[in-house]
Amino acid sequence: MQVLKNSKVMNNIEQQFQEILQDKRPENLYNPISYILMQSGKRLRPQMVHIASEMFDGDPEETRHIAAAFEMLHNFTLIHDDIMDKADVRRGQPTVYKKWDGNTAILAGDALAVIAMQQLLKLQCDPKTILDLIEIFGQTAVEVCEGQQYDLDFETMDNVSIDQYLNMIRLKTSVMFAGCLKAGGRYAGADEESLQALYDLGIHLGLAFQLADDLLDVYADEEVFGKAVGGDIKDNKKTFLLIKTLELADETQKQQLLNLFSTTPADEKAKFQQVKAIFDAVDVRKATEEEIARYTEKCMDDINRIHTTEEKKAFVLDMVQRLQSRNK
């Protein structure tokens, strides 16, 4: 089994992006697309497509079209998310809307979503497989938009429950992982039970991944993390840590937290330290780690339901373990 390693996935997909965008005009549409696609990212989604496909002996040369489609779809969501969040920086670089402008970023994102779907039409396989992959792709795209809308809705809601938050991150983050794994397996001819297990694995892995993101934003080592911690607190984001702390806190702590998250003080560091002190007081770090562990255990159950050899499962197990222990 020749699963593509991370560096090889990155090199192959970047070369593919260069080929797709070569000599495209107008430059003001395609330069922003090239700019975000060629930035150094984790490339988790194409890795997932390749891992799922190769578990069922899929052709890596054909699988690369599916991997590119989902990585493009992911970057389309990032372009539009940054506009909505008014984010200035992504991956250490100015965001597309900041480097160009909002209108250019909207057009670039729109075009990128369509180019992504076109990659699936390049597959040399039976029409039913292509239709199924387009259905997975389309469902993923719509659900990510649903998740983003819920995230926007939360900004004006006084109370967000744990269940509401988990549903939002399931849509905004997990369904992309799930779509990648299911699409890779579907292309390679996985049976229905394995496809469901791959999809469930993506959901549970995505939930653990996003909860770890919430945790790292407060408790990461900044030098390793690569950016300043406390961004969610600065932006008054309703993360798992905040919602869980409000659930665990006494009335005094709860009121202090609500007051802190209703303001944008000049001294951001002081706000961060005050919020973190309350988080520490209720030990929300432990509660979050327990939730991450719960979803990681579900991932292990999902992997056991995939009908392939233990040798072929080793690569997906390695991916789960790497993401569980990540520090950035």
Secondary structure letter of residue 266 according to DSSP? S
Q: Is 94 helix (H, G, I), strand (E, B) or coil?
A: strand
Closest by alpha carbon to 226, among 212, 238, 216, 236?
A: 216
Rounded mean pLDDT of 286-315? 96
Summarize pLDDT for 171-221 with one digit per residue, the tens.
Answer: 999 999 999 999 999 999 999 999 999 999 999 999 999 999 999 999 987
End-to-end Cα separation, the chain, in angstroms: 29
**pLDDT(3) > 50:** no
Check whether the bond before 26 is cis (ω within 30° of 0).
yes
Whichever domain contains 130, its CATH number is 1.10.600.10
Summarize pLDDT for 88-138 with one digit per residue, the tens.
Answer: 888 888 999 999 999 999 999 999 999 999 999 999 999 999 999 999 999
**pLDDT recorded at residue 2:** 45
Rg over CA atoms, the chain: 20
**pTM (global) more than 0.75:** yes
Instruction: Give a yes or no: residue 99 inside a domain.
Output: yes
Instruction: Give a yes or no: residue 178 inside a domain.
Output: no
Summarize pLDDT for 58-80 with one digit per residue, the tens.
Answer: 999 999 999 999 999 999 999 99
Secondary structure letter of residue 5 according to DSSP? P
| 153 and 246 housed in the same domain | no
Six-digit token string for 288: 């979050």
Averaged pLDDT of the chain = 92
Six-digit token string for 1: 């089994």
110, 143, 160 — which closes off a domain? 160
| 128 and 224 housed in the same domain | no
| 155 and 202 housed in the same domain | no
DSSP, residue by residue, 46-79: HHHHHHHHHTTT--HHHHHHHHHHHHHHHHHHHH
Six-digit token string for 126: 């039976």
Instruction: Give a yes or no: residue 171 inside a domain.
Output: no
Instruction: Give a yes or no: residue 104 inside a domain.
Output: yes
160, 183, 206 — which closes off a domain? 160
119, 142, 160 — which closes off a domain? 160
| 131 and 262 housed in the same domain | no
Instruction: Give a yes or no: residue 173 inside a domain.
Output: no
| 7 and 142 housed in the same domain | yes
**pLDDT(167) > 70:** yes
Instruction: Give a yes or no: residue 177 inside a domain.
Output: no
| 135 and 274 housed in the same domain | no
| 52 and 112 housed in the same domain | yes
Query: What is d(CA 117, CA 123) in angstroms, rounded to the nearest whole number?
Result: 11
Residues of the chain with pLDDT > 90, as a percent, come to 78
| 43 and 150 housed in the same domain | yes
| 47 and 149 housed in the same domain | yes
Domain around 85: 1-160
| 235 and 287 housed in the same domain | yes
Instruction: Give a yes or no: residue 165 inside a domain.
Output: no
Are the C-beta atoms of residues 111 and 33 closer than 8 Å to each other?
Answer: yes
**pLDDT recorded at residue 85:** 85
Residue whose token pair is 């965008």: 21
Instruction: Give a yes or no: residue 252 inside a domain.
Output: yes
Check whether the bond before 46 is cis (ω within 30° of 0).
no
Are the C-beta atoms of residues 176 and 193 closer than 8 Å to each other?
Answer: no
Closest by alpha carbon to 60, among 130, 18, 14, 1?
A: 1
| 156 and 195 housed in the same domain | no
Q: How many domains does the chain have?
A: 2
**pLDDT recorded at residue 263:** 81
| 112 and 196 housed in the same domain | no
Give whole-number Cα distances, 26 to 1, 107, 108, 269, in Å: 42, 12, 11, 44
